Amino acid sequence: MSLFICPICKAPLERAGSVYRCPEGHSYDIAKEGYTYLLPPNQKHSSAPGDDKGMAAARRAFLSKGYYQPLLDALCHLAVSHTGTAPAVLDAGCGEGYYTAGICQALENAGKHPRMAGTDISKFILRAAAKRKTDAEFAVASSYHLPLADQSLDLLIDCFSPLALGEFQRLLRPGGIFLYVVPAADHLWELKQILYDTPYPNEEKETPYDGFSYEAIIPVNGTITLPSRTDIQNLFQMTPYFWKTPKEGSQRLAELETLVTKIAFRIHVFRRCGNF
């Protein structure tokens, strides 16, 4: 049985070959790349929402070189140490599946038997995700209307994606773990110094959420060296700065042949409370 449920009637989905079906007769084709489409028309606000082909390619190329390996390592350690033998796991806003695949592999290497799923609003980026980890499930879906059953998850990961708190509360079982990754104050600081005349640090805060207890805030810090214009542009294209940088800043970056910049993340670890 799939971790996904039918977005129309909320019944369980079961995979049969290249199709997901529910008992009510609704069916969803599985693309040749391995993902399915569970985004109803009334939740789709453009013809091709989310990352486009260029952004998806840039993200895959950059992450595949291991520049964010310290973050993946930290997430894998937390996933292994906070789950049982057969956890149900969702990577919400999974992008091209770098963290999804890495966490799933770490759980398997630890002798566990995870049921792993990833969702994203972009079909282009899920094509890469489904190829990266073929034994996980991937679906185009909105983080605010996730096609999974109530209290069906043991672990939920949100890495730089929208905070759909109501959905995350609904999906996690009592005692389940929520890993929320955000940029720290000086993340990509040297990149921002090139792009902007007066860059400012990211806001860092500790925000409690109803229905969750705070377990920890895990810092992940490092420095990366990008040795080529291609790597620099791939990083730029996968950040929100790509859409809001003045032309002059983009030109300055395009002239760089190498870039050394800090990376800094904070993993907020929450546990779902049992009194609901």
Contact 89, 124 (CB under 8 A): no
Q: Is residue 256 part of a domain?
A: yes
Q: Is residue 40 part of a domain?
A: yes
Find all residues with CB under 8 Å of 192, minimum gap 6, and list them. 199, 241
Report how many domains make up the chain.
1
Contact 167, 148 (CB under 8 A): no
Q: Is residue 24 part of a domain?
A: no
* Residue whose C-alpha is closest to residue 182's, from 201, 195, 155: 201
Q: Mean pLDDT score of the chain, rounded to an integer? A: 93
Residue 254 has pLDDT above 50, yes or no: yes
What is the structure's pLDDT at 26? Answer: 95
Q: Got the DSSP string for 97-133?
A: SHHHHHHHHHHHHTT---EEEEEES-HHHHHHHHHH-
Q: Is residue 28 part of a domain?
A: no
Q: How confident is the model at residue 40 (pLDDT cuts 50, 70, 90)?
A: confident
Q: Is residue 4 part of a domain?
A: no
Residue appearing with tokens 């939920």 = 156
pTM of the model: 0.94
Q: For the ranges 103-107, 185-189, 242-246, which has the lowest average pLDDT?
A: 242-246
What's the rounded Cα separation, in Å, for the pair 95 and 232?
19
Residue 174, domain extent: 33-272
Residue 276 has pLDDT above 50, yes or no: no
Q: Is residue 232 part of a domain?
A: yes
What is the structure's pLDDT at 42? Answer: 58
What's the rounded Cα separation, in Å, for the pair 181 and 128?
21
What is the structure's pLDDT at 51? Answer: 61
Q: Is residue 39 part of a domain?
A: yes
CATH number at residue 253: 3.40.50.150
Q: Is residue 188 part of a domain?
A: yes
Helix, strand, or coil (residue 262): strand
- For residue range 194-217, list pLDDT tens digits in order: 999 999 999 999 999 999 999 999
- For residue range 147-171, list pLDDT tens digits in order: 999 999 999 999 999 999 999 999 9
